Amino acid sequence: MTIRLEQPGDYREVENLTREAFWNVYRPGCTEHYVLNQYRSNPNFVHELDLVMEEDDRIMGHIMFSKAELVLDDGTRRSSWTFGPISIHPDYKRKGYGLKLLNYALEKARAMGIGFLCMEGNIGFYRHAGFDLASKKGIHYHAEPRDAEVPYFLAQELIPGWLKNNGIIEATYCPPRGYFVADENAEAFEAYEATFPEKVKLRLPGQLV
Ligand SMILES: CC(C)(COP(=O)(O)OP(=O)(O)OC[C@H]1O[C@@H](n2cnc3c(N)ncnc32)[C@H](O)[C@@H]1OP(=O)(O)O)[C@@H](O)C(=O)NCCC(=O)NCCS
C-alpha cells in the first residue's frame, strides 16, 4: 500500500472512486465526486494534502483538505482548516485503510503547521484518529442551536493549545462554500454526473437526505 500526492492524470479515476465510495451512502446517489472535481481549482484547496492511496496497482483511497474559517462572537474571522471527502473504495472498506490514510494525512497536516481541524462526520470512524465533539472545544456549528451538542460535528487540535494561542475560546464554523457546489448549480452537476456509467439511485435506511 502506498500513499502519494494526486496527479492530474489521476483526476477522473479519483472522482470515480469518490462516486463509488459515496454512492447511496448519505443520499440516493451522491455529489461528493463533483465537489472534488470543482474544488481542485478553488483557492482554499490544499494541494499538498490532496492524497491518493494505492493497493494492487489501483487507486482505492483519497482524501482532500480545505482552508476554512472560524467566526468569533465579535465577528472576527480566523483561518482554520477542514477536510473531506475521504473515500475508500467499497472493495477495501473496513480493512483499516481509511484510518491509515487519515492518520498519514493528519501527520502531514500537523507538520505543515495546521493546528486545528473541524468537520462533519461519523464519530464511530473519526474518534480512532483523535476527533471528538467540536462543542467540547467551544466550536459551534452554524446550522445548529449554539448550546447543542452536535453528534456529527467533530474537531481536533492537531497542535495542542492552538485554539487558545490564537485567542479562540468560542467560535462558529460554517463549511466553505465550495462544499455546496452541487446544490448551488444543479444543472452543471447533472451534466457532469451524466458522463459517468449509470448507477441506480436507491433510498436506503440511514441516509441523511
Ligand atoms: C468512512 C471510510 C473512509 C472509512 O474507511 P474504512 O477503511 O472503511 O475504515 P477503517 O477500516 O479504517 O475503520 C477504522 C475504524 O472505524 C470504524 N468505522 C469505519 N467506518 C465507519 C462508519 N461509517 N461508521 C462507524 N464506524 C466506522 C471501523 O469499524 C473501525 O473500527 P474498529 O477498528 O473498532 O472496527 C470509508 O468506509 C468510506 O469511504 N465510506 C464511504 C464514504 C464516507 O462515508 N466517507 C466519510 C465521510 S464523513
Domain boundaries, the chain: 2-193
With beta carbons less than 8 A apart as the criterion, state whether 87 and 49 touch: no
Q: Give the C-alpha separation, 10 to 77, whole Å.
A: 35
Show the ligand 1 pocket: residues with CB < 6 angstroms: 21-22, 25, 84-88, 93-99, 121-122, 124-125, 128
Residues 127-170: pLDDT tens digits?
999 999 999 999 999 999 998 889 999 999 999 999 999 999 99
Residue 33 main-chain phi, psi, to 5 deg: -65, -35
pTM: 0.97
Residue 93 alpha carbon to ligand 1 centre in Å? 7
Sign of the dihedral through C-alpha 207, 154, 36, 87: negative
Query: Can you give the pLDDT at residue 147?
Result: 85
Instruction: Report CA 78 to chain centroid distance, whole Å.
Output: 19
* Radius of gyration over every alpha carbon of the chain, rounded to an integer in angstroms: 17
Asked whether residue 85 carries a pLDDT value surpassing 80, the answer given is yes
With beta carbons less than 8 A apart as the criterion, state whether 176 and 68 touch: yes
pLDDT band at 209 (very low <50, low <70, confident <90, very high): confident
Which whole number is the average pLDDT over 48-77?
Answer: 97
CATH architecture of residue range(s) 2-193: 3-Layer(aba) Sandwich (3.40)
